[in-house]
Amino acid sequence: MIVSNIQDYILQLKTIKNRQMKVVNYKYIKRKVKIVHKNLFKAIVLLIVFIGLTLVGCDSEVDTDFDGDIDPCENEHFFGLNTYDPWGGLSPLNKNADLGVSEEIFPSVESSIMYSNASTYNYDLESYHFFNSPNYVFVNVTNDSPAEMVPLLGYDSTSKYSHLVYVSAAISNYIIEIDADGFVKLVKVDVDSGNIETEILTGFNIGATGAQSISMTTNNVDEVYIMINRTLITINIVTGVSDFVEIEALFSTTNLFYGLEYNSSGDHLFAIRLEQTADVINLVKVNLDGSFSTSFSLTDDVHHKESIMSHFYSTTLSCDESLYRLTYIQGNNNTIYQEINSITGEILTDTKEADYYFGIESNANN
């Protein structure tokens, strides 16, 4: 009965695909249909446990170690890019998993790496994406096809675009636009075609100080969060309504926030708070109403605050959200990698030499 239903289901999908091929890009259809296929495959796995599993990802929710328990974080990895020359972007661009063995995907990215944390992971399709701001190019890395560079199309030449986040419930990707007048917008994009689709006005203006620090994350349901300097912007992508709040007093003009990450278990945000004048760095918990508290001091462990201030850093949470992961550049192209335990405050540090690792993303968190 299951096999018959599956065959009928696949036949229906093929019929739909054949009708639409003349008017819709085949590759786009293939990626959208793959989401439906994957959900069906998960159901089959629960019924036929002996099927050979090839999926990797925290979202797979399968008993990968055959201990009888299904743990959604059993097969966790974090992915990213690395290159020898992040300043000019003229050396090969590589992909890696867990900062391990590198595999070249392009001869170069053809520009400098401006925002190292402009990455996201689509765990519905198990694909990795990075948006490089200097040349407005999406770097798309998938499991079943060669990596691609896709240029952003139809953009306003007077605006600046940066960062990238995938919202699973909406099956959509978003980037940040700051227009010529300094107003911040959230822009929905198709990373496969490069097309801009819709935009949401936030009403927030960066003012004369500009965006000294900027990062973005999501609750993966209906909200996207943008942190610029000391302002938290919350955008509801369903209603189009946005709100923003200054999370520190106006006189604290030298304090900046970086590396925004959403913690679903606590429904709050993590960020790095950097006091420039006092040379103090803390991991802080930011509530959605804009209040915040210090979780742990990073001052004695993060020794290259200028790397974070110049956006040569990237962050992600582990699958179980207990680890706040951080990479940043040291010197010309060495990398410092740190894991900060958000419960105990313990910090583990490692160094990768002669290559800059950036855009790290867990296969379960954006």
Q: Output the DSSP codes for 265-315.
A: TTTEEEEEEEETTTTEEEEEEE-TTS-EEEEEE-TTT---HHHHHTT-EEE
- The pLDDT assigned to 22 comes to 41
38-48 average pLDDT score: 43
Distance CA(18)–CA(118), nearest Å, equals 36
pLDDT digits (tens, 9 = 90+) for 106-144: 999 999 999 999 999 998 999 999 999 999 999 999 987
Q: Say what the pTM is.
A: 0.82
In order of their start, the domains of the chain are: 2-52 (no CATH), 81-362 (2.130.10.10)
pLDDT greater than 50 at residue 55: no
Residue partners of 36: CB distance under 8 A and separation at least 6: 13
Residue 56's pLDDT band (cuts 50, 70, 90): very low
Give the whole-angstrom CA distance, residue 349 versus residue 145.
34
| Cα dihedral across residues 224, 228, 233, 238: positive or negative | negative
Do 355 and 83 touch, CB atoms closer than 8 A?
yes
Amino acid, res. 140: N
Q: According to the 3-state scheme, what is the secondary structure of 32-46?
A: HHHHHHHHHHHHHHH
Place of tokens 């990073």: 298
